[in-house]
Chains A and B, each alone.
Chain A
Amino acid sequence: MERASAASHGRKILWAVGILILATGMAAAQNPSFYTKWTNYTSANGFPPGEVYCVTVDGNRVWAGTGHGLVLLENGRVQKVFTTKDGLAGSAVMSVAVDQLTGDVWIGTFGGLSRYSGGQFKNYTNLTSGLANDLVYGVAVQGQYLWVATTAGVNRLDTHTGSWSIFNESNAPFEEPWTYGISVGAEKIYFAVWGGGVLSYDRANHYWKPYTDPDGEMELVLYRNQGLIHNIVSSVSWNPDTKTFWASTYFGLSSYDGRNWHNYLTKDSGLPSNFINAVKSRGNQVWACTQKGLSEFNPTTNTWVTYRPDLKTGRGEILITRPDGSKRQIASSSTLAHNYILNLDFQGDDLWVATANGLSHGTRQPRKVAAIPR
């Protein structure tokens, strides 16, 4: 038995080496690895219908917030759809954050904040707790603190003492209180404020700093890289690897590395739409969730790759924009569930993507793909 197993193991190694040699030889002829394998979870296969607003990976678990409750997937399978009947605070789930220390799952809904712990929900609402407002857009965990982005400012719950703090225009430099997203960095916490730009909160020194559109006008961008491109910020993502924060707006994409701003519009980059619902960045990857597809931008190579179903035919396509502005379109046999992308999260090298019509799981695969003639 053992011998047979060893032989089989040996054969596997041989195969692997062979494939490796073959692959190396073909590498020049192939495209770089793209996300070409997409598994979609939609109403067609029993997933809640409609938008998936958010997705959060927690080990082999994936939490997806939809308009009809919170979906838990384990190892790629839907385990449970939690609704208000199960105790969830609201049907429309906008954000999920997992406290890696306690295992508790915090859920921001249009109906208040929920904590899922030990198989039970506990809810916090505007009337029954210190929560600033029941329209909760973002949640994030920072040690014993839970940060909550609401439509009436930022909340902080000290989970040890039960104390709630509210930060809004009365005690912090908010131009507007409508807060969308939160990104926790080692030193600062960043907030996407809808109409108020990006705000950072210094964890050690407890001060706020605003980053707003320097031209101060909603209807224009005066200079390309003048500063934050627009004050209507939909999300923010701190990249600890590059020490840069990225901000998505409905008017383009911005980044700030502490010294320089870089802005991206469809007219000057490979961004497929200026209307961006979310951004997430790690290493050399910047992922923009636009209404015309999911884009990966590599700031080092200045290359953009957009994944989406073709806006007219629905067929999978991968759009590449090179540093010189030249573009290439290649076909993909599988693609995202929808072109309107709301959110994503990483599971190792895999992607989980929230779209307007279901959840998509993308796997990067080096494979030969044919160019679509333009």
Chain B
Amino acid sequence: MKVRSASPAIGGSRPRNPVAGIAAFALVAVMAILVRPSVASAAPQAAGTDSGSYIPRSQYLSPVAMTLSADGRRLYIACEDSDLVLAVDTRTQKVERRVRVGKMPRGIALSPDGKTLYVSNEDSNDVTEIDAETFQVRRTLAVGWGPVGLTTDRDGNVLYVANTLGDDISLVDLKSGREFKRLEAGHYPEYVALSRDGSRVYVANLLARVAPVDRPPVSELTVIDTSRQIVAARVDVPGVIQMRHITELPASAGGYLLVPFMRPKNLNPLVQIQQGWYLTHGLAAIRPAAAASDGPKNYRVAEVLLDDIDRYYADGFGVAATPDGRWALVTASGANVVSVVDSAKLRHLLQNTPPARQQELANRLDSASHFVVDRLLVGRNPTDVLASPDSRFAYIANRMDDTVSVVDLGRMRIASTIDLGGPKEISRQRRGERLFFNASHCHQGQMACATCHPHEGLSDGLAWSLETPQLGRDVVENRTLFGIDGTSPFKWNGKNPNLETQDGPRTAMYIFRSQGFSPKQVNDLVTYIDSLQLPRNPHLTSNGHLTDAQARGRAIFFRDRTADGRLISPLNRCYTCHSPLTHYTSRVSMDVGTATHYDTIHAFDVPQLTGVATRQPYLHNGEALELEDIWTMFNPEDKHGITSDLNKAQLNDLIEFLKTL
């Protein structure tokens, strides 16, 4: 499949060799970069010049979510880094209006009458309601933790908001502005979509259900029946994670829901990445049940890959069906590409694949040739995509370029690129961020840093076989990148003293199977990773005081005597290894009795506890699915702190405290 470049008018976007680069894949703690100055980045060249000077992240726009007025005249764009919402006139392609909202706006929705915009602010746990015409902020609606995706119902009475950190969905009564109901989603719900008939709200969960790490992941599409406002179905989407945006093909095009995903082979040794087919990227094509009240068994889930045999389109993000149902556009945010799916061909493939072979589709790298008709190179890190009401144009938000690509669907080419007005100078941190999202550095473009650290630094919650080529040996749980500055060394074996060496030449050789980055790129990337901060901890009360249970838990964490008064060895006190002075890690390796016979080492790097509540599963191999498991199942000899003298209420208190860190 040939990749078409952007129009010459915006120039400079064609990669010199999209396969030649290397991605740095960091599972254990981070990304770092190998020094190979002779190899240039395959990323598109954006408008603007590189700069070593300090430019605050908030200066950049980072468009991440869009919505379009019913007449297609106005494009509304939420820009996550600048906390701005922009209105762009699609004819003049100029920014007409801008308004400041809460922190980290990541989702945007328009009321059915087109008069009101709702913007979710992930870091402020609220939604800003904006007059779509005047761009005046009307009110702020409190919702759950880490709101991202949102939609109103068909009548515009109820707003559905996916709360990523809360694993739930807030339902807000738009008359009163009050949240009246919260429904549990799957794990890390990110984007939502209202069904075409308005009977359902679909919620895509970014992470797989928390489950034993030695099994393939299962993700959930949560379906809300809008008439009863309850979860009607939790649809299993097996073998995949990172489901993002959702689009529904019109009934005439089969009525499938299309949801981009990543399909990992994480339990195979990572060295196999050089054989390809290790991390694949595709679309879930889900045939919804006939009635909104139907359960999950009435949904038919098929999976197809968008990758080609020797070229991968990493990190599917946005997806949009044209209103005429002819095309579905899928952004590969790590490949700077939009794949154009011919929905009739996709439907043909799905309908003509016998049920027995449906599962095969999810693993076939030759499927895309049946239904992907074009690949369009767009700007850096394309996220959201929208189709115009007349099905003639598509708009793609290029997060790392602060631009929007306009696709002429008739000619199937980039018609123009709208500059949203971000800084032209590119800071070191921004350069690092661009590298973080870019998969072109990896063998066949299978992954970017962001592939395994989605949502800008999360752990993907999977265990990976990183270093030992034997199947099943030394499987280790992924770790977060949030707030890791000052927590060195890195990796579960604690071998890498800093981020720069974390993924040095050996790692590039044995894991990434490609070339490394230049020293400058290493510095850029480290600067970016060091800048990743933990979100405000929602388990802490607004005044920062601990609740009674949290305070009791704190006393247990810092205790030096057992319940019956015996002195606890300093080496077996919580705070010794998880020192509060350094992010609750003493930055050494300890044997806490958690090694199994599949491990070649027994002592593991003490993980920092900051943000621990959001880092399921736990322990080096991810065996402990919940915090409780660490002590109820995996501490039989009291080597991981003395806990056998605690009663259940005390253990609960300890966990309540840990969740505040």
Q: How far is the CB of A192 from chain B (nearest CB, A)?
A: 21
- Chain B positions 167 through 185: 1 when the CB is less than 8 Å from some CB of chain A, otherwise 0: 0100000000000011110
Q: Which residues of B contact A164 (CB under 8 A)?
A: 652
Q: How far is the CB of B547 from chain A (nearest CB, A)?
A: 8
Q: Which residues of A contact B625 (CB under 8 A)?
A: 128
From 8 to 25 in chain A, residues with beta carbon under 8 angstroms from any chain B beta carbon are none
- Chain A positions 93 through 115: 1 when the CB is less than 8 Å from some CB of chain B, otherwise 0: 00000000111100000000001
Whether the Cβ atoms of A118 and B296 lie closer than 8 Å is yes
Whether the Cβ atoms of A160 and B144 lie closer than 8 Å is yes
Q: Which residues of A contact B230 (CB under 8 A)?
A: 102-104
Complex alpha-carbon distance, A144 and B180, angstroms: 10
From 72 to 121 in chain A, residues with beta carbon under 8 angstroms from any chain B beta carbon are 101-104, 115, 117-120
Q: How far is the CB of A194 from chain B (nearest CB, A)?
A: 18
Closest chain B residue to A130 by CB distance?
Answer: B652
Complex alpha-carbon distance, A161 and B660, angstroms: 12
Closest chain B residue to A100 by CB distance?
Answer: B230
- Chain A positions 132 through 158: 1 when the CB is less than 8 Å from some CB of chain B, otherwise 0: 110000000000100000001100000
Q: Which residues of A contact B629 (CB under 8 A)?
A: 127-128
Q: A165 touches which one: B166, B232, B234, B652 (CB < 8 A)?
A: B652
Whether the Cβ atoms of A152 and B184 lie closer than 8 Å is no
Complex alpha-carbon distance, A153 and B649, angstroms: 10
Closest chain A residue to B648 by CB distance?
Answer: A132
From 631 to 661 in chain B, residues with beta carbon under 8 angstroms from any chain A beta carbon are 632-633, 647-649, 651-652, 655-656, 659
Q: B166 touches which one: A120, A133, A160, A170 (CB < 8 A)?
A: A160
Whether the Cβ atoms of B296 and A120 lie closer than 8 Å is yes
Tell me if A168 is interfacial: C-beta within 8 Å of chain B: yes
Q: How far is the CB of A78 from chain B (nearest CB, A)?
A: 16
Q: Which residues of A contact B296 (CB under 8 A)?
A: 118-120
Tell me if B419 is interfacial: C-beta within 8 Å of chain A: no
Complex alpha-carbon distance, A144 and B171, angstroms: 13
Complex alpha-carbon distance, A168 and B538, angstroms: 27
Whether the Cβ atoms of A126 and B632 lie closer than 8 Å is yes
Q: How far is the CB of A82 from chain B (nearest CB, A)?
A: 12
Whether the Cβ atoms of A118 and B648 lie closer than 8 Å is no
Q: Which residues of B contact A226 (CB under 8 A)?
A: none
Q: Which residues of B contact A168 (CB under 8 A)?
A: 649
Complex alpha-carbon distance, A161 and B625, angstroms: 18
Q: A128 touches which one: B228, B232, B628 (CB < 8 A)?
A: B628
Tell me if B295 is interfacial: C-beta within 8 Å of chain A: yes
Q: Which residues of B contact A133 (CB under 8 A)?
A: 648
Complex alpha-carbon distance, A115 and B233, angstroms: 13
Interface residues of chain A: helix, strand, loop or mixed (majority): loop
Q: Which residues of A contact B108 (CB under 8 A)?
A: none
Q: Which residues of B contact A163 (CB under 8 A)?
A: 539, 549, 656, 659
Q: A117 touches which one: B234, B539, B648, B656 (CB < 8 A)?
A: B234
Tell me if A159 is interfacial: C-beta within 8 Å of chain B: yes
Q: Which residues of B contact A132 (CB under 8 A)?
A: 648-649
Complex alpha-carbon distance, A118 and B223, angstroms: 8
Q: Which residues of A contact B659 (CB under 8 A)?
A: 163
Q: Which residues of A contact B633 (CB under 8 A)?
A: 127
A119 and B181 in contact, given A103-B231, A160-B166, A166-B649 (Cβ under 8 angstroms): no
Whether the Cβ atoms of B184 and A129 lie closer than 8 Å is no
Complex alpha-carbon distance, A160 and B183, angstroms: 9
Tell me if A171 is interfacial: C-beta within 8 Å of chain B: yes
Q: Which residues of A contact B626 (CB under 8 A)?
A: 128-129
Whether the Cβ atoms of A165 and B223 lie closer than 8 Å is no
Q: How far is the CB of A136 from chain B (nearest CB, A)?
A: 14
Complex alpha-carbon distance, A163 and B144, angstroms: 15
Q: A101 touches which one: B181, B223, B628, B632 (CB < 8 A)?
A: B181
Tell me if B97 is interfacial: C-beta within 8 Å of chain A: no
Complex alpha-carbon distance, A102 and B228, angstroms: 9
Q: How far is the CB of A158 from chain B (nearest CB, A)?
A: 11
Tell me if B124 is interfacial: C-beta within 8 Å of chain A: no
Whether the Cβ atoms of A159 and B232 lie closer than 8 Å is no
Q: Which residues of B contact A119 (CB under 8 A)?
A: 232-234, 295-297
Q: Which residues of A contact B649 (CB under 8 A)?
A: 132, 153, 166, 168, 170-171
Complex alpha-carbon distance, A153 and B233, angstroms: 33
Complex alpha-carbon distance, A130 and B230, angstroms: 25
Q: How far is the CB of B295 from chain A (nearest CB, A)?
A: 3
Q: How far is the CB of A125 from chain B (nearest CB, A)?
A: 9
Q: How far is the CB of B416 from chain A (nearest CB, A)?
A: 43
Whether the Cβ atoms of B549 and A118 lie closer than 8 Å is no
Q: How far is the CB of A235 from chain B (nearest CB, A)?
A: 24
Whether the Cβ atoms of A118 and B652 lie closer than 8 Å is no
Whether the Cβ atoms of B628 and A129 lie closer than 8 Å is yes
Q: Which residues of A contact B538 (CB under 8 A)?
A: 161
Whether the Cβ atoms of B632 and A127 lie closer than 8 Å is yes
Complex alpha-carbon distance, A153 and B144, angstroms: 30
Q: How far is the CB of B296 from chain A (nearest CB, A)?
A: 4
Tell me if B367 is interfacial: C-beta within 8 Å of chain A: no
Q: Which residues of A contact B222 (CB under 8 A)?
A: 118
- Chain B positions 531 through 565: 1 when the CB is less than 8 Å from some CB of chain A, otherwise 0: 00000001100000000010000000000000000
- Chain B positions 226 through 242: 1 when the CB is less than 8 Å from some CB of chain A, otherwise 0: 00101111101000000
Q: How far is the CB of B5 from chain A (nearest CB, A)?
A: 44
- Chain B positions 203 through 246: 1 when the CB is less than 8 Å from some CB of chain A, otherwise 0: 00000000000000000001100001011111010000000000
Whether the Cβ atoms of A126 and B648 lie closer than 8 Å is yes
Q: Which residues of B contact A128 (CB under 8 A)?
A: 625-626, 628-629, 632
- The listed residue with most B CB atoms (<10 A of its CB), out of A104, A164, A170, is A164
A-B contact pairs, 13 of them (CB 8 A): A102-B181, A102-B230, A103-B231, A104-B231, A118-B223, A120-B296, A130-B651, A130-B655, A132-B649, A160-B168, A161-B538, A170-B647, A171-B649
User: Residues on B close to A: CB < 8 A?
Assistant: 144, 166, 168, 181-184, 222-223, 228, 230-234, 236, 295-297, 538-539, 549, 625-626, 628-629, 632-633, 647-649, 651-652, 655-656, 659
User: Residues on A close to B: CB < 8 A?
Assistant: 101-104, 115, 117-120, 126-130, 132-133, 144, 152-153, 159-161, 163-166, 168, 170-171
What are the 5 closest A-B residue pairs judged by CB atoms, nearest first?
A103-B230, A119-B295, A118-B234, A118-B231, A127-B632
